[in-house]
Amino acid sequence: MALSPEEVKKIAFLARLSIKEENIEQYSQDLSVILDLVEQMDAANVDDIEPMAHPQDAMQRLRDDTVTEVNQREKLMSNAPLQQDGLFLVPKVLD
Question: What are the C-alpha distances in Å from 68 to residues 55, 64, 65?
Answer: 34, 11, 9
Give the per-residue pLDDT at 63: 87
- 50 pLDDT above the threshold of 80: yes
- 6 pLDDT above the threshold of 80: yes
Region 39-59 average pLDDT: 86
Give the per-residue pLDDT at 13: 95
Neighbours of 81 (CB within 10 A): 7
Residue pair 55/49 in contact (Cβ under 8 Å)? The answer is: no
- 86 pLDDT above the threshold of 90: no
pTM beyond 0.75: the answer is no
Give the per-residue pLDDT at 92: 87
Residues 6+ apart with CB under 8 A from 25: 5
Q: pLDDT over 90 for what percent of the chain?
A: 51
Rounded Cα distance, 79 and 73, in Å: 10
- 59 pLDDT above the threshold of 90: no
Listed by start position, the domains of the chain span 5-42
Give the per-residue pLDDT at 91: 87
